[in-house]
Amino acid sequence: MQDVPDSIAMTAGFVRAGEFFRQGKVPLAISQFRTALRFEADAYERAKAYLELARIYRIAVRMKNARLELMRSFEAAGLAWPRNSWASVLASCFHPEPMNKPHPDFERQTRDTKIRFVAELYEEVGLSAYYLRHIPTLLQAIIRVKGICMELGPSRVLLNWYGGAACVCSLIGLRKRSLQLIRHCHDVSTQLSCRTDAGKALVWKALLYDYHGLPVRSAELFEECLREYGADLYPFDLRLAAVTLSVNYLSRGHYEKALSAMSRLTELYPYFKTQEADDWSFDSAAWYTLAPKVMLGQMEDIDKMANAFRSILSVDKDEKWLLTQFLGHLLIAGRQTGMEACKAEDLISRFEVLGMSARSTHLETSFYWIAAAYIRFDFAANDKAALPCFRASLKKLGQVPDHPTPRAHYDVLKAGLAWMEGRGHAYRKWSARAAEKARLHDNAWVFVELAKLQSRVKEAGGFR
């Protein structure tokens, strides 16, 4: 496993914290950083420590904590935190100034050292903004540091800028520009001749291909990354690659591969390996194995997980992105094990209070809306009184980011609605659309749902 980034040169206490981090002893690493910070007077060293804490919390999926440490890093370095406003985006276009009026301790560093640190800081800002759907801040994370990253030339900093900028361009619809940027990212990685950088370039490329609606190619790139460079990735990049790949496979019904992706994570980073298989705490990687295990018949009783989710929901309401994924797993598992309608509706209604929008959701969380729509479809097929709830879920599924995976599931469910309403032509149209998307993007789950729907139609005597 790769060490903390080279630009983060720690004093003795921070070095020890970094060693704990490498060993996967995340709680000890956090504790050691806290202890070392009590005795560190240099503002620049403190800023670096806070940045590392932000990354460690991101591995533990504590995004609220990660953001807090990131803000502390900005404050320690004397740098201005980017406001989440379009006015700030406009100002950044004309006056980026990412290192304006820093703390004297920071100012004393060499130009290259300052550039590397600020670039890493803004990369973390971009990831935080992505999780929180703060689009103005996400754009500033790219705009503000472009000049200094270019100034540094071929480097890990420039590689990450190109990769991050490519993904941001894709998210805002600049597809052609995103492809140009990802080629530059690859070019930089070949110039650096470092396995860590080659692996990170593949992570960026795999993410971009998924944003472009090519889940199969994205999965192939993630597989290559984990197979060839998994042991060389930083822990936070390793987790990103493994979890995103697992969700990709889960959403397309490849359950053994979804589990395999998570097993690579536990093999390569001790923190996840030490978590018990039945540990359903907030930061446990076990949540990402729930739905695949149930679908493969490796787990049947999910009451413990449902109770754990309710407990998490009452404590960690701020971590909406993660809660969405957890509930998606729980609903897929619940549907397979015959979860009662009242229990499923209780979980969905508790979650909906948080106000998570399908329209602004992440691609990686869209499978929750898929699962919610399917389980409500089942209830509506058996009880017409449940039809309004199904219609509401179907509408929300139609609002998630445009991508062939959720769109294929949406088409299946539109066919299901047409069947319940007795519209034969619409049923055949939506079924054909779903089948075509499933064929093009290897979506085994959609083919299973189409077969189940066809069986229901046949049992009901078809259309009159």
Which ranges in 78-174 belong to alpha helices (H)? 86-94, 104-107, 111-132, 135-143, 146-152, 156-171
Question: Is 177-274 the same fold as 1-152?
Answer: yes
Q: How far from 403 is each of 29, 172, 281, 291, 407, CA to CA, in Å?
A: 39, 14, 31, 21, 6
Nearest to 63 by CA among 292, 327, 286, 239: 239
pTM: 0.91
The CATH number that domain 177-274 falls under is 1.25.40
Half-sphere exposure (Cβ direction) of 127: Cα atoms closer than 13 Å: 26
Beta carbons within 10 angstroms of residue 297's beta carbon? 9
Say if residues 319 and 282 touch (Cβ distance below 8 Å). Answer: yes
By three-state DSSP, how is residue 60 classified? coil
Dist CA 411 CA 387 (whole Å)? 17
The pair of structure tokens assigned to 242 is 């493994």
User: Which residues of 308-386 form beta strands (DSSP E)?
Assistant: none
Amino acid identity of residue 326, one-letter, is F
Domain boundaries, the chain: 1-152, 177-274
* φ and ψ of 15, to 5 deg: -60, -45
Helix (H) or strand (E) holding 43: helix 43-59
Amino acid identity of residue 464, one-letter, is R
Per-residue pLDDT of the chain (464 residues; tens, 9 = 90+): 555 444 344 466 778 887 888 777 888 888 888 888 888 889 999 999 999 999 888 887 788 889 999 999 999 999 989 999 999 999 888 888 887 778 888 888 889 999 999 999 999 999 888 888 889 999 999 999 999 999 999 999 999 999 999 999 998 899 999 999 999 999 999 999 899 999 999 999 999 999 999 999 999 999 999 999 999 998 889 999 999 999 999 999 999 999 999 999 888 887 776 555 555 666 677 888 899 999 999 877 777 777 777 776 665 556 777 788 888 999 999 999 998 888 889 888 888 887 888 888 878 889 999 999 999 999 999 999 999 999 999 999 999 989 999 999 999 999 999 999 999 999 999 999 999 999 999 999 999 999 999 999 998 887 75
- The angle that helices 12-22 and 26-38 make with each other, rounded to 10 degrees, is 170
Half-sphere exposure (Cβ direction) of 288: Cα atoms closer than 13 Å: 29
The CATH number that domain 1-152 falls under is 1.25.40.10
